[in-house]
């Protein structure tokens, strides 16, 4: 389903939804011996749509009628999503819809994390017309930006974006105004935008497995997987994974690199963030170092991409989370089985 417009802001729907990663997940689980219901009785490994049901009310009903007792919600969820109708009837792998909608507001989420003392990139909200908490775009002179702790280069990005879509690094005020105007006039994301501190140092991304209560009744803390370093940026921005496979511009940190105190502080911050957003499935948090080497969180993703090698022709399609899992010692199937262990049902 296309995500709804929320307070005038929209998240641009991915063409084909998440059928590519959905098919990767289903194929890997079936290969691991898990009973997986599919729309086609003999799904073609090369045809993603053979493996996945729509996340509409009708699609969910079709999956349950076919015998599914667990739904893998590999999709963008929001308050009022049809999944809410069945959360007490079957097991779910995924986030609470309302929690995902809340966290998808990247400005509000970063403000929430910052208020809890977490290191988060500085930012402000802008729109064509000022209102409470939102600056008028025309009022954002270089001096005004500086008064808000923002100096060039800067990042301009949507409030409810997807991946690096609509994200631009700008090096001066003229470029800033042009990028902001283009983002607003595109009407892909709504009239508000985020103006964010550009962190000049190394970019890393951290996948965090959610807290889990074992059969012994003991709740384990969220588990961060090894951070993955990003490189070969396009003018300061990691390219969209649909254009450049992340396996070609990303690698997990070594054990020695993970022992760096700054990395340790980042991982602790990511654990705290995972608790704050009430994650029930893995999340991915993008972080980047400032000029002093201090790592800041700048983008929390409640539905990280979960593509993975396995289906024919997909050998280079490991997602950032799959890369992190392999560095931890889990292959793609293993991390999916761990996610399966975290399935939940509402009372």
> What pLDDT does residue 214 have?
63
Tell me the two tokens of residue 298: 């700048």
Rounded Cα distance, 346 and 157, in Å: 35
Domain at 203-330, CATH class: alpha beta
> What pLDDT does residue 215 have?
59
Tell me: pLDDT of 164 over 90.
no
Burial status of residue 173 (CB atoms within 10 A of its CB: 0-12, 13-18, 19 or more): middle
Rounded Cα distance, 210 and 205, in Å: 16
Rounded Cα distance, 65 and 69, in Å: 10
Tell me the two tokens of residue 8: 């005038």
Which CATH homologous superfamily contains domain 122-197? ATP-grasp fold, A domain (3.30.1490.20)
For 174-332, list the strands marked E by DSSP.
Answer: 193-197, 203-209, 212-213, 219-220, 223-224, 228-230, 250-252, 283-289, 295-301
| Residue 224 vs residue 4, higher pLDDT | 224
Tell me the two tokens of residue 107: 């400005």
Tell me: pLDDT of 18 over 80.
yes
Rounded Cα distance, 225 and 323, in Å: 10
Give percent of the chain with pLDDT exceeding 90.
86
Rounded Cα distance, 221 and 49, in Å: 36
> What pLDDT does residue 151 have?
95
Tell me: pLDDT of 263 over 90.
yes
Task: Give the residue-averaged pLDDT of 233-259.
Answer: 90
Tell me: pLDDT of 162 over 90.
no
Task: Put residue 218 in one of left, alpha, beta given phi > 0 → left and psi -120 to 50 → alpha.
Answer: beta
> How many Cα atoms occupy the beta-carbon half-sphere of 132 within 13 Å?
0
Equal fold, 122-197 vs 203-330: no
pTM for the whole structure: 0.95
Rounded Cα distance, 262 and 258, in Å: 9
Q: How confident is the model at residue 233 (pLDDT cuts 50, 70, 90)?
A: very high
Which helix (H) or strand (E) segment is 72 a member of?
Answer: strand 70-72
Where exactly are the structural domains of the chain?
A: 122-197, 203-330
- Can you tell me which residue has the tokens 């103006």? 195
Task: Give the residue-averaged pLDDT of 318-323.
Answer: 97
Beta bridge partners of 135: 126
> What pLDDT does residue 274 have?
97
Using DSSP bridges, classify how beta strands 135-136 and 123-127 pair: parallel, antiparallel or unpaired.
Answer: parallel
> What pLDDT does residue 137 have?
96
Query: Can you give the C-alpha Rg of the chain in angstroms?
Result: 20
> What pLDDT does residue 181 have?
95
The SS3 assignment for 195 reads strand
Rounded Cα distance, 183 and 301, in Å: 21
Does residue 16 contact residue 48 with C-beta atoms inside 8 Å?
yes
Tell me the two tokens of residue 3: 């995500």
Least confident segment among 20-34, 80-94, 208-222: 208-222
Instruction: State the Cα angle at 75 between 98 and 168, rounded to 5°.
Output: 90
């Amino acid at each position: 389903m296309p995500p709804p417009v929320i307070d005038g802001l929209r998240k641009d729907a991915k063409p084909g939804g998440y059928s590519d990663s959905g098919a990767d997940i289903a194929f890997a689980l079936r290969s691991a011996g898990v009973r997986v219901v599919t729309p086609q009785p003999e799904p073609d490994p090369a045809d993603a749509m053979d493996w996945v049901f729509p996340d509409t009310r009708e699609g969910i009903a079709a999956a349950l009628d076919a015998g599914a007792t667990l739904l893998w919600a590999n999709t963008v969820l929001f308050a009022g999503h049809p999944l809410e109708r069945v959360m007490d009837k079957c097991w779910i792998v995924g986030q609470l819809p309302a929690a995902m909608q809340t966290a998808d507001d990247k400005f509000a989420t970063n403000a929430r994390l910052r208020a809890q003392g977490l290191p988060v990139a500085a930012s402000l909200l802008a729109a064509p017309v000022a209102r409470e908490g939102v600056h008028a775009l025309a009022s954002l002179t270089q001096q005004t930006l500086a008064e808000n702790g923002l100096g060039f280069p800067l990042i301009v990005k949507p409030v409810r974006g997807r991946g690096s879509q609509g994200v631009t690094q700008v090096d001066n005020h003229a470029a800033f105004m042009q990028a902001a105007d283009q983002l607003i006039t595109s009407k892909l994301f709504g009239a508000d935008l985020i103006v964010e501190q550009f962190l000049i140092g190394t970019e890393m991304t951290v996948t965090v497995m959610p807290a889990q209560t074992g059969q012994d009744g003991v709740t384990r803390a969220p588990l961060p997987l090894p951070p993955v370093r990003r490189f070969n940026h396009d003018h300061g921005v990691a390219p969209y994974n649909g254009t450049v496979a992340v396996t070609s511009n990303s690698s997990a940190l070594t054990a020695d690199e993970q022992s760096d105190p700054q990395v340790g502080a980042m991982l602790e911050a990511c654990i705290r963030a995972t608790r704050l957003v009430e994650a029930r499935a893995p999340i991915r948090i993008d972080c980047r170092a400032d000029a002093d080497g201090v790592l800041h969180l700048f983008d929390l993703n409640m539905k990280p991409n979960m593509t993975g090698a396995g289906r024919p022709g997909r050998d280079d399609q490991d997602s950032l989370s799959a890369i992190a899992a392999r560095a931890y010692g889990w292959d793609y199937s293993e991390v999916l089985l761990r996610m399966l262990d975290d399935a939940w049902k509402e009372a």
